[in-house]
Structure 1
Amino acid sequence: MLPRFSRLAVYENPEVDKMAGVAMGVATAWLLHNLELLQKSAEKDHHPQTQSPLFGKLPAEIRNEIFALTVTEDEDLSKPYGRQTYYWRPEFRGPRRFNVALLRTCKRIWLETRPLPHKLLRNLPWAFFLAEENRRPPEYRDKGPRQLERAQKFLTTQWQALETIQIFLQGLTKGNIEGFFREPLLQPSTIIFTIRYTDWLYWESQYRLGLDSRQMRWTRLPDTVTKVVMEFEIIQSREQELNNLIAELTRLEERYRWYRRDRKSLRILNSKKPCVKEWTWDGPTNYGDGRTWQHHPSGYKMTYVVKVVEWERDEA
């Protein structure tokens, strides 16, 4: 069982929470006021640039599509992670970054593209690592929701825009998950829990795959959650074990339910076909200092299998 993250004592103090909430509210109001003044100034004094085909010929709908493709989130491959780290994987081969350079080009473009980062927060899963230090990228400083530096600067509206979040979960325990959700501004509607191959209990010795149904039943998710997605990853040679686990989840679905703070439950609704998606990718056979294990194939790569199961709010 993993320890609760180090800042939990602060989150558990209601007086500290209240003071922090007041401070964040004042800071948010100040920033929003200044952004409003900046927008009014830009609207009043900017060059229309109709001489440019971008603004003079292309309709706004097409410009918005171009801007949306430019202002996006991707991997910064100029600072790649090591391939043998525990967190190197598809879409996480380097630090995630927002490409917002376009917003700095001129006032006219800033006025049209300013809402895009907020839309990205709403439409893309924001990733968190609820894992030990060597299992998360170096820019993720702890196990709390403010683990990234840019998250520490979020406005209230930006926290509220995080409707879908992804948590790389090393240790499914009540303390881990509830401790993470003590951030009051974090109220997602969809949570994606990703359990990587090396996050399974005693994966090094091929210990039987399993989920602790008691921890699931004891854990209370925010009341805003209407869907839980679990991504289960295993190496290809152990795929049948994962199939057996998913079959158990559906056969004993009353035991494997998620619950919210309001005591309403989320369950696997499609028991005939619980696995809604699956894919494979090629990753390393060894980690860290190059250590490998007997049940890994020889060579520098092996196939990883990911299977996805969804829990949804049971309205019956």
Structure 2
Amino acid sequence: MVREFRTLFRRGPARMELGPRQPTAPVVRRREKLPLATRFLDHPDSINPQLASPIFDKLPREIRELIWRFSLTRYEDLDKVYDLNGRYARPGQAAPLRIAVDLLLACRALYVEAYLIPFEVNPIVVHDGDPQDLPALFYPLICLPSDLRRCEKLKPWQLANISSIEMTVQQFTLEGGSVERVSRLVGALGRHRQQECRGFTLQGIASFATNSASGPQLVSRKISSLTIRMLRTDWWSWSSSPQEGEENPSERLRLEPLANTTVSMSLAMTRGYEARKAGEEPDFGLDNFEKEGRWGKQITEYWPDLTTLELVLETFACKQSQLDYVVECAKLWTFPLEDGYYLVWNGREESLRWRGAPSYGYERGHSWIEEENTAQNEAQDATVTQWGPTSGGVGQDFIIKTLKFERRRNEERKREDGQVGV
């Protein structure tokens, strides 16, 4: 039991154990198919029920599970707070993320109740953004497209019980196929088809296949939650000043799920907004290949089981008006799924203003950041969130806007929009 979890949560690369090559299936590493808990459950007399403990004697199973889920949710280790000058230091990531997995080593009774919970409540984090925005890789459920084998520490049964994904992307990777690539990394379609988790291929991609052999099958959880996060320097036009954005639409923040918003399509977001306000789907004149390549289409095709899609967008405080417009446009976005379901905005918008360091290094050549985005007198500014590190009152201010899209039937969506019975 100790080895089972500590090999996942220790630092350093996992030892590679290669399995035999199969001519008709991807080559995967040999992994223990079922968790240690199954051995204990096959022999219940080996488990002390711990009736001397009020947790097991007095509390019902449902309450204990709430305790385990709370205790095994990742947290910031504030004993090791990051340097404020690191670009990765921000609210929610002020210190290394940890999971209190040692709780599972307390006793077998606790272990068999809670051994799946670290994977059920914590997401795999995929960083497809700027490497400077990534802290030291202490969090065990994180991988990079350039280092997919980090997640190969996960055994098949552990990978199979992941149901949520967080991805940080630069805009050019978002519009360049990252949504599809991450889906393949975690096997979203294999889970949708109720295939068995086989671990990872030698390339670090999740392997799922139909199990035609006898014996226990490893049923995989479907991916129900996806978070897409863009940080302040991830936008196409992050380096343009607010004034440049006022003068030229191609220098403003922009995002559209059904079009690539490079310079030639800088007005796509506004065109999409106007069409949706009129009750129509926007037509950007794209051919079929271009349409399938857009990230909104990829959510429909590669993430069919989502119940929530969260969009987390950050920018410089002096560009708040630009981000506000992006958010207003995004509130009308819908993502069609199977069987008449859509992902639609749930009607709530979260906003957070926070203060970081005075300088991060990207200011060179962009004088507007120092002139327009550096604030002082933090103690007098009630809008600035107090969090982890503190800059002593002088630093750059940032805005984070969060929208959540939830799964609903088409009829329900139309009823809420007032389109039914009209």
TM-score range, shorter chain: 0.7 to 0.9
Deviates more, 1:85-94 or 1:287-296: 287-296
Gaps of 5+ in 2: 1-20, 190-222, 242-250, 262-290, 377-393, 412-422
**CA deviation vs aligned residue, 1:179-235 (integer Å, no higher than 9, x gap):** 332226245233221112222223233341111541385232313335432122223
- The separation in 2 between residues aligned to 1:197 and 1:61, in whole angstroms, is 41
**Deviation at 1:78?**
3.8
Q: Which residue of 2 aligns with 1:215?
A: 260
Q: Which residue of 2 aligns with 1:303?
A: 397
- The separation in 2 between residues aligned to 1:236 and 1:83, in whole angstroms, is 18
Q: Specify whether residues 267 and 60 from structure 1 end up closer, same or farther in structure 2 by C-alpha distance, changes over 3 A only.
A: closer
Q: Is the 8 A contact 2:104 2:115 kept in 1?
A: yes
**Deviation at 1:82?**
2.7
Q: Is the 8 A contact 1:204 1:293 kept in 2?
A: no
Deviates more, 1:153-162 or 1:240-249: 153-162
Q: Is the 8 A contact 1:68 1:116 kept in 2?
A: yes
Gaps of 5+ in 1: 1-14
- The separation in 2 between residues aligned to 1:17 and 1:232, in whole angstroms, is 44
Q: Specify whether residues 191 and 63 from structure 1 end up closer, same or farther in structure 2 by C-alpha distance, changes over 3 A only.
A: closer
Q: Which residue of 1 aligns with 2:167?
A: 167
Q: Is the 8 A contact 2:240 2:252 kept in 1?
A: no
- Given candidates 218, 221, 230, the residue that maps to 1:195 is 230
Q: Is the 8 A contact 1:75 1:92 kept in 2?
A: yes
Q: Specify whether residues 89 and 56 from structure 1 end up closer, same or farther in structure 2 by C-alpha distance, changes over 3 A only.
A: same
Q: Is the 8 A contact 1:85 1:288 kept in 2?
A: no
Please tell me whether residue 180 in structure 1 is matched to residue 182 in structure 2: yes
Percent sequence identity is 22
3-state SS of 1:127 partner:
strand
**CA deviation vs aligned residue, 1:125-150 (integer Å, no higher than 9, x gap):** 44321113222223256326x7483x
Q: Which residue of 2 aligns with 1:91?
A: 92
Q: Which residue of 1 aligns with 2:349?
A: 276
Matched pairs, number: 284
- Given candidates 316, 321, 333, the residue that maps to 1:235 is 316
**Deviation at 1:87?**
1.8
Q: Which residue of 2 aligns with 1:8?
A: none
Q: Specify whether residues 91 and 45 from structure 1 end up closer, same or farther in structure 2 by C-alpha distance, changes over 3 A only.
A: same
3-state SS of 1:293 partner:
helix
- The separation in 2 between residues aligned to 1:126 and 1:294, in whole angstroms, is 38
Q: Specify whether residues 164 and 136 from structure 1 end up closer, same or farther in structure 2 by C-alpha distance, changes over 3 A only.
A: same
**Deviation at 1:162?**
3.2
Q: Specify whether residues 114 and 244 from structure 1 end up closer, same or farther in structure 2 by C-alpha distance, changes over 3 A only.
A: closer
Q: Is the 8 A contact 2:48 2:109 kept in 1?
A: yes
- Given candidates 371, 389, 400, the residue that maps to 1:294 is 371
**Deviation at 1:248?**
3.8
Please tell me whether residue 154 in structure 1 is matched to residue 154 in structure 2: yes
Normalised by the size of structure 1, how large is the TM-score?
0.72
Q: Is the 8 A contact 1:164 1:191 kept in 2?
A: yes
3-state SS of 1:82 partner:
coil
**Deviation at 1:56?**
4.1
Q: State the AA in 2 paired with 1:194.
A: R
3-state SS of 2:184 partner:
coil
Deviates more, 1:83-92 or 1:286-295: 286-295
CA-atom RMSD in angstroms: 3.7
The 5-angstrom pairing of residues 1-316 of structure 1 reads 19-20=25-26, 23=28, 27=31, 30-32=32-34, 34-41=36-43, 43-121=44-122, 125-139=123-137, 142-143=144-145, 147=148, 149=150, 151-171=151-171, 172-183=174-185, 185-186=187-188, 188-206=223-241, 207-212=251-256, 213-215=258-260, 217=291, 218-219=294-295, 220-221=298-299, 222=302, 223-249=304-330, 253=332, 258=335, 268=344, 276-288=349-361, 293-299=370-376, 300-311=394-405, 315=410
Q: State the AA in 1 paired with 2:370.
A: W
**CA deviation vs aligned residue, 1:138-171 (integer Å, no higher than 9, x gap):** 3256326x7483x322244443433332211212
- The separation in 2 between residues aligned to 1:67 and 1:57, in whole angstroms, is 16
- The separation in 1 between residues aligned to 2:24 and 2:231, in whole angstroms, is 36
- The separation in 1 between residues aligned to 2:402 and 2:154, in whole angstroms, is 30
Q: Specify whether residues 177 and 258 from structure 1 end up closer, same or farther in structure 2 by C-alpha distance, changes over 3 A only.
A: same
- The separation in 2 between residues aligned to 1:153 and 1:17, in whole angstroms, is 25
Q: Specify whether residues 117 and 296 from structure 1 end up closer, same or farther in structure 2 by C-alpha distance, changes over 3 A only.
A: same
3-state SS of 1:200 partner:
coil
Q: Is the 8 A contact 1:71 1:98 kept in 2?
A: yes
Q: State the AA in 2 paired with 1:209.
A: L
Q: State the AA in 1 paired with 2:371.
A: Q
